[in-house]
Structure 1
Amino acid sequence: MTSVAVVGAGISGLVAAYRLRQALGPAATITLVEAAERIGGKLRTVPLADGVIDIGAEAFVGRRPEVPALLAELGIADQLVHPAGLRPLVWAGGALHPLPTETLMGIPSGRAAVEGLVDDATLARIDAEPATPLRWDRASDIDVGSLVAERFGEQVVRRSVDPLLGGVYSGLSSSIGVRAALPTLAAALDSGASSLTEAVRLALPPPLAGPVFGGIRDGYAVLLDALLAAADPVLELGMTVRSIERIGTSWQLEPLGSFDGVVLALPAQTIGRLLAVVAPAAASAAAAIPLASSALVALALPAGADLPQHSGVLVATGESLRAKAFTFSSRKWPHLAERGVALVRASFGRYGDSVADTGDADLIAAATEDLATVTGVSVTPTDAVVQHWSGGLPQYLPGHLDRVDEIESGLADLAGLEVAGAFLRGVGVPACISAGSAAAARLLAAVH
């Protein structure tokens, strides 16, 4: 294999190109194609207030090893940073509450997890849940919201589960399937847990010895640039691949030409359109994965802005606020606190709403006003930047893993064509790194 195309220069595509370069050596031609005018996909680092800030993902889960391992491989391990350890708050019922602990993505393991956040009737329902007969179908899937509402009530869904799932998927618990989003919970229920309370307790991961999250000191751009340099591809920015066709043992990409192998690291619906002719079953499954749009507003506030001593605020669904979450970046990250300016990120948009389509000026105003509501900090930003993420995150609807299986089985006989991305088996940066590495490995195995 001497010529490979990776279509999509987000983190999955960049990792795939890097892994292919490692395996194929300097003589191979690796072409990296990106429809946008920059690399990075849904990761982006921009200037703000005499420094930089990430306006896509800003952190990764510390339990997974992919990001630290990749930083070390690339010789930039000194960029790894960790949060200050402050806890976030939840805005619910027009007031701030501590974020529940001892929960699985907001699903409580007992009444103590959500005391003070939900009413007495809901607490009584949580107490009674273990004695309530549980209906669970091992052969099907259900959305997280329906399961939790049936067992614990709507307040738990709106005030605890939705805020956390909304941060991960830009969705609602009603648009997220249990099996794909919470596999350990599904496994506990499949194994015969007699109640949701018992299943959550079985599914809770053991406490981490180290930090829960990690980040990159100078933003994800550092990692993206290092991957690009190490992959050393022929970079084609601003180019859209219009079609893909198999000719003999090669793959023809219009308008680029012929390649021995191809990795498609694109949003699911774009992959669905490209695969319609060569892999119709896989294309249909990919096209059925919907996308949520979101927007992020990064604010620089005067240094004296008295933000709460917490990492941020998650907003319950059904509240009057337009923002769904705030990150107090200069509280959360010690390296940002050193800059002497208060930095805040405000997130907007959930699956099915149009908030993210609001104009930049209105989003900045909404972020400033909602921040004042939840914190009492009413100041004019000294600087601001807005990022719209159209179709930013795939929604893992019930049955998502079945659709992923259909995509993978539909490509099984097409040697030299692989897919990668957040639509497969995880939306976070570590999962996308894993997906890019796995796609490169499958491609290499198929053509050698």
Structure 2
Amino acid sequence: MRRKVAVIGGGIAGLAAAWELAGHEADVSVTVYEGSDRVGGKLRLEQVGGALVDVGAESVLARRPEALTLFEEIGVDGRTTYPAAVGATIVAGGRRWPMPSGTVMGVPSDPESVRGLLTDAEVHRLRDEPLAPLVTDDVSVGDFVDARLGPAVTDKLVEPLLAGVYAGHARRISLDMAVPALRRAAHDGRSLLEVAREAQLAARSAPTAVLPVFATLVGGLGTLPPALEAALVDAGVEVRTRAVVRELRPDGDGWVVATGPTTDVVHERHDAVVVAVPAHPTARLLTDVAPTAAARLAAVDYASMAIITLAVDGRPEALTGTSGFLVPPVEGLTIKAATFSTSKWPWLADAHPDRTWLRASIGRHGEEASLQHDDAALVETALTDLRAVLGELPDPIDAHVQRWGGGLPQYAVGHRRVVEVARRDLPPTITLAGAAYDGVGIPACIASGRAAARALLTP
């Protein structure tokens, strides 16, 4: 008999799970349920200034294989493209400094590479690293770096990088989950500077060293979800949008998935389920099915953020020669980063030689007040901060605000244990996938989805 599997959630993790299930030799019927009007989650394109541009995730980590492998499997690898050879900068003391190379989440391999960005006294503190081993299972990234290398390294180097990944705060994010290489060093009592140097050497000698760090697709990363959806449909997967899952309940040795409006609920039976939605809706679905898992997942915090995309005419000089900048919280600006999309992505510059796109992000965990303004106010805030850093910048010809409410899970201290307990409480025919569990990057979400699918297929 054909086995029926439901995938709840049509973000990249859910789509990857469905792709893994569809590609398996076993006789499996797959249905994807997505509550919104389109698949893709945080991968999204919108019209801004006469072009479709990414308003969510814009790139993948090319030195992990999962995303590039998926590109190849669905036949879009011919559109893989890489950033221009321009570096990013960090704002410190009101000016921009080159992003140090060879860091592990901001921990430098060479103290001299951050002199200027850090004061002489802060560099001296960085060199004077105590090597006492970590005696707890987990600690926040910021607290650990503070103790080893000094608060300035956390404030000026680690914070902006972690904020770019998690929209969170270094002194709240788990070292174990966010920077496991430093955690291993912590327990061994090894120097973090030494670990950063070793990581730099390993990256240079790895087979992927010939690749740039990041990649995307010509046309934008937001072109991936519809391409993957088309490949899934071709493979026999049913993909449903506007299909909000209201209930998941047991039915013998299977599961009933209830969808649709309250006045017309549809009940469908499946043999197994991949739940690939954020932690809070997952907790609601699992309340009666796996109460311990539900309680753990209900406590996972999320950060909200907004991406403000601006289009300007011409090629403003302030936006050339660099891919953008990161902003440490200590600088007192509202934006936490800016990306000069046209400078960063040659495909975009070539397609529109007379126009420039850039984007700024606003919002960190616990700072939702910064987002409680209308779109026009957020655009004005972004422009004010951009001009404070860059100087002269022309008025935009178009702007777009994409709000990602509850967009990024926060890996609090002890998060790995939360995930382990939640997964252990699940029945064997339900698996979890997504950014809340195995990493927030696109390759990590793809890996999470595929692993969740394989766990259901394993006898």
| Alignment check: 8 A CA contact 2:60 2:214 kept | yes
1:378 Cα deviation from its structure 2 partner: 2.3
1:136 paired residue among 111, 134, 137:
134
Letter in 2 for 1:272: A
1:169 paired residue among 160, 166, 169:
166
Q: Hey, what's the Cα distance between the residues in 1 that align with 2:194 and 2:16?
A: 39
Letter in 2 for 1:2: R
1:135 Cα deviation from its structure 2 partner: 4.2
1:28 Cα deviation from its structure 2 partner: 4.8
Counterparts of 1:101-180 in structure 2, within 5 Å, are 101-129=101-129, 132-137=130-135, 139-180=136-177
1:365 Cα deviation from its structure 2 partner: 0.9
Please list the CA deviations of residues 166-213 of structure 1 after superposition, one character each: whole Å capped at 9, or x if unmatched.
1111111112111111111212233341x3333433454422222111
Q: What is the DSSP-based 3-state SS (H/G/I as helix, E as strand, rest coil) of the residue aligned with 2:49?
A: coil
Q: Hey, what's the Cα distance between the residues in 1 that align with 2:324 and 2:47?
A: 21
Letter in 1 for 2:227: A
Q: What is the DSSP-based 3-state SS (H/G/I as helix, E as strand, rest coil) of the residue aligned with 2:257?
A: strand
Q: Hey, what's the Cα distance between the residues in 2 that align with 1:274 and 1:140?
A: 30
Q: Hey, what's the Cα distance between the residues in 1 that align with 2:149 and 2:377?
A: 37
Question: What residue number does 1:200 align with?
Answer: 196
1:112 Cα deviation from its structure 2 partner: 1.3
Counterparts of 1:156-305 in structure 2, within 5 Å, are 156-193=153-190, 195-204=191-200, 205-207=202-204, 208-232=209-233, 233-255=237-259, 256-305=267-316
1:16 Cα deviation from its structure 2 partner: 1.0
Counterparts of 1:322-333 in structure 2, within 5 Å, are 322-333=334-345
Q: Hey, what's the Cα distance between the residues in 1 that align with 2:219 and 2:110?
A: 40
Question: What residue number does 1:97 align with?
Answer: 97
Question: What residue number does 1:3 align with?
Answer: 4
| Alignment check: 8 A CA contact 1:369 1:378 kept | no
Query: Residue 319 in 1 paired to residue 331 in 2?
Result: yes
Q: What is the DSSP-based 3-state SS (H/G/I as helix, E as strand, rest coil) of the residue aligned with 2:407?
A: strand
Letter in 1 for 2:421: E
Q: Hey, what's the Cα distance between the residues in 2 that align with 1:342 and 1:288?
A: 42
Aligned sequence identity (%) = 39
Please list the CA deviations of residues 371-414 of structure 1 after superposition, one character each: whole Å capped at 9, or x if unmatched.
11111132110111110000101111111111111122112xx1
| Alignment check: 8 A CA contact 1:108 1:200 kept | yes
Q: Between Structure 1 and Structure 2, how many residues are aligned?
A: 439
Q: Hey, what's the Cα distance between the residues in 2 that align with 1:38 and 1:173?
A: 33
Letter in 2 for 1:200: A
| Alignment check: 8 A CA contact 1:170 1:351 kept | yes
Q: What is the DSSP-based 3-state SS (H/G/I as helix, E as strand, rest coil) of the residue aligned with 2:5?
A: strand
Query: Residue 445 in 1 paired to residue 454 in 2?
Result: no
Provide TM-score, normalisation by structure 2.
0.92
Q: Hey, what's the Cα distance between the residues in 2 that align with 1:252 and 1:400?
A: 30
What's the C-alpha RMSD, in Å, of the aligned pairs?
Answer: 1.7
Letter in 2 for 1:17: A
| Alignment check: 8 A CA contact 2:126 2:153 kept | no
Q: Hey, what's the Cα distance between the residues in 1 that align with 2:390 and 2:193?
A: 33
| Alignment check: 8 A CA contact 1:60 1:214 kept | yes
Distance 1:427 1:390, change over 3 A: same
Q: What is the DSSP-based 3-state SS (H/G/I as helix, E as strand, rest coil) of the residue aligned with 1:187?
A: helix
Query: Residue 378 in 1 paired to residue 393 in 2?
Result: yes
Q: Hey, what's the Cα distance between the residues in 2 that align with 1:357 and 1:407?
A: 33
Q: Hey, what's the Cα distance between the residues in 2 that align with 1:190 and 1:368?
A: 44
Query: Residue 357 in 1 paired to residue 368 in 2?
Result: no
Letter in 2 for 1:186: R
Q: Hey, what's the Cα distance between the residues in 2 that align with 1:352 and 1:48?
A: 29
Q: Hey, what's the Cα distance between the residues in 1 that align with 2:326 and 2:429?
A: 43
Q: What is the DSSP-based 3-state SS (H/G/I as helix, E as strand, rest coil) of the residue aligned with 1:150?
A: helix
1:277 Cα deviation from its structure 2 partner: 1.2
| Alignment check: 8 A CA contact 1:308 1:375 kept | no
Question: What residue number does 1:53 align with?
Answer: 53
| Alignment check: 8 A CA contact 1:9 1:265 kept | yes
Q: Hey, what's the Cα distance between the residues in 1 that align with 2:303 and 2:446?
A: 21
1:162 Cα deviation from its structure 2 partner: 0.6
Distance 1:22 1:104, change over 3 A: same
| Alignment check: 8 A CA contact 1:189 1:199 kept | no
Please list the CA deviations of residues 256-286 of structure 1 after superposition, one character each: whole Å capped at 9, or x if unmatched.
3211111100101221121111111211222
Q: What is the DSSP-based 3-state SS (H/G/I as helix, E as strand, rest coil) of the residue aligned with 1:318?
A: helix
* Unaligned stretches of 5+ residues in structure 1: none
Question: What residue number does 1:19 align with?
Answer: 20
Q: Hey, what's the Cα distance between the residues in 1 that align with 2:115 and 2:324?
A: 20
Q: What is the DSSP-based 3-state SS (H/G/I as helix, E as strand, rest coil) of the residue aligned with 2:36?
A: coil
Distance 1:358 1:16, change over 3 A: same
